[in-house]
């Protein structure tokens, strides 16, 4: 059973929102009464996602955005505020897996691509979300890290280092705004049944699932439920955390 929140009159922004965890979270915000801004760099799937929400009677807009470009992240936040007048909640979810292989095989270009989206992209979005939230006097932000932000695995140096960085960004930003009625936290999903998860090497997936104690893949809606809780008044004393939602992977 999903928890029920009343976000009527509030505005939520979700990046990487055209599918998977991002779309599930956008839907959850919308079903809780929020107006939702969906952002993604894949314009076709983004348009389809927004059409799905508006057809169900929800208020949502699409904003194409490459979060790795700060000017686009800034324009995203400005579009949200121009359309709805404020920004109450944000889930910075956009991320990529990047290449697999030992660190000695990683290329500079591959490393830079992963960090541009997974780390710089969250920094850029969070920066401009915080600027707006400080102006209006409050808000809540959740960044998407990963179990890869809490542990190390072989052949994943670029990805895991980017996700470790997300937790560092989250902690520092949370302290920057702790007295300004703004909370910044992160979720650390385990292996989730999403299109992004389809890109995981089969041998690596088997290895991961041996450690995911619950014995199954997670569902995108389970991550969405954690994000909404962190944005709700129920988490009013929670800030700067990296919340594992990983079926017990990091308990080991």
Report, as residue numbers or ranges, the catalytic residues.
Answer: 159
**Which residues have CB under 8 Å from 237's CB, separation 6+?**
none
3 state SS of 172: helix
Q: Are 224 and 25 in contact (CB under 8 A)?
A: yes
d(CA 129, CA 81) in angstroms, rounded, equals: 10
Q: Cα 71 to the chain's mean position, in Å?
A: 19
Q: Tell me the CA distances in angstroms from 37 to 18, 21, 24, 77, one per residue in order.
A: 11, 15, 13, 9
Nearest to 99 by CA among 112, 81, 83: 112
**Which residues have CB under 8 Å from 94's CB, separation 6+?**
15, 16, 22, 39, 40, 41, 67, 117, 121, 122, 125, 144
182-189: strand order across its sheet: 60-64, 35-40, 11-15, 89-92, 139-144, 182-189, 242-245
Q: Are 167 and 145 in contact (CB under 8 A)?
A: yes
Helices 121-136 and 70-84 pack at an angle, to 10 degrees, of 30
Backbone angles phi, psi at 245, to 5 degrees: -130, 75
């Amino acid at each position: 059973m999903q928890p029920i929140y009343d976000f009527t009159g509030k505005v939520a922004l979700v990046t990487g929102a055209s599918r998977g965890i991002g779309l599930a979270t956008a839907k959850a915000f919308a079903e809780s009464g929020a107006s939702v801004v969906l952002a993604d760099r894949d314009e076709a799937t983004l348009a389809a996602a927004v059409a799905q929400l508006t057809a169900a009677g929800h208020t949502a807009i699409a904003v194409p955005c490459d979060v790795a470009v700060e000017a686009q992240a800034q324009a995203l936040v400005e579009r949200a505020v121009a359309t709805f007048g404020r920004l109450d909640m944000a889930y910075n979810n956009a991320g990529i897996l990047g290449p697999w292989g030992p660190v000695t095989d990683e290329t500079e270009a591959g490393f830079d691509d992963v960090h541009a989206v997974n780390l710089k992209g969250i920094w850029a979005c969070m920066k401009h979300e915080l600027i707006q939230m400080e102006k209006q006097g409050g808000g809540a932000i959740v960044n998407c890290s990963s179990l890869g932000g809490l542990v190390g695995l072989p052949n994943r140096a670029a990805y895991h280092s980017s996700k470790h960085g997300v937790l560092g960004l989250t902690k520092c930003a949370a302290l920057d705004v702790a007295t300004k009625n703004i909370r910044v936290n992160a979720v650390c999903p385990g292996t989730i049944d999403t299109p992004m998860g389809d890109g995981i090497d089969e041998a690596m997936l088997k290895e991961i699932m041996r450690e995911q104690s619950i014995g199954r893949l997670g569902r995108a809606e389970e991550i969405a439920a954690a994000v909404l809780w962190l944005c709700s008044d129920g988490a009013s004393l929670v800030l700067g955390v990296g919340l594992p939602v990983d079926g017990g992977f990091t308990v080991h």
